[in-house]
Structure 1
Amino acid sequence: MQEWLNRYKVPLIFGLLGFILAVLLVTIGFFKTLLIIILTGLGMVIGQYIDNNDLLKKYFN
């Protein structure tokens, strides 16, 4: 089972993401889903910037 999961990890992840996207589109609509995707991407970019520049370490020390 572990070998199968390692072999098909990427298709499983993207299949799950596609399912979540489909559920969001059906339940809350296109533009609200698009807003969630944009805000999630923006949060990832800001988090990566903070992590790369050690801003939290500087702030808490």
Structure 2
Amino acid sequence: MDYLERYRYPIIGGIIGGIIAIAIFTIGFWKMILLLILISLGVMAGLFLKKTGIIEQLKNRK
């Protein structure tokens, strides 16, 4: 258990890297790049909406 706690982040990074590698080989490099760009845009839009409170204002208006 101490081994997992000590190397938790490298293990998580390796698993994520493996998943990305499998996705690249499965769906292709450019499709994977497009997917990562779209995910990044979605995360940025979500953070922007949370930071500005637009969704909360719309919820409270009703």
TM-score > 0.5 by shorter chain:
yes
Please list, as runs of the form range in 1=range in 2, the aligned pairs for 1:31-42 lying within 5 A after superposition: 31-42=30-41
- Corresponding residue pairs, total: 60
For residues 59 and 36 of structure 1, do their structure 2 counterparts lie closer, same or farther at Cα, with a shift above 3 Å needed? same
Return the letter of the residue paired with 1:39: L
Residue 5 of structure 1: CA displacement?
3.3
Q: How far, CA to CA, are the matches of 1:13 and 1:24 in structure 2? A: 17
Q: How far, CA to CA, are the matches of 1:10 and 1:25 in structure 2? A: 22
| Larger-gyration structure (1/2) | 2
Q: Counterpart of 2:34 in 1: which secondary structure?
A: helix
TM-score (norm 1): 0.84
CA-based RMSD of the aligned residues comes to: 1.3
Question: How many percent identity over aligned positions?
Answer: 37
Q: What residue is the counterpart of 1:17 in the other structure?
A: 16
**Higher RCO structure (Cα 8 Å, ≥6 apart):** 1
Residue 54 of structure 1: CA displacement?
1.2
Q: How far, CA to CA, are the matches of 1:31 and 1:59 in structure 2? A: 37
TM-score (norm 2): 0.83
Q: What residue is the counterpart of 1:43 in the other structure?
A: 42
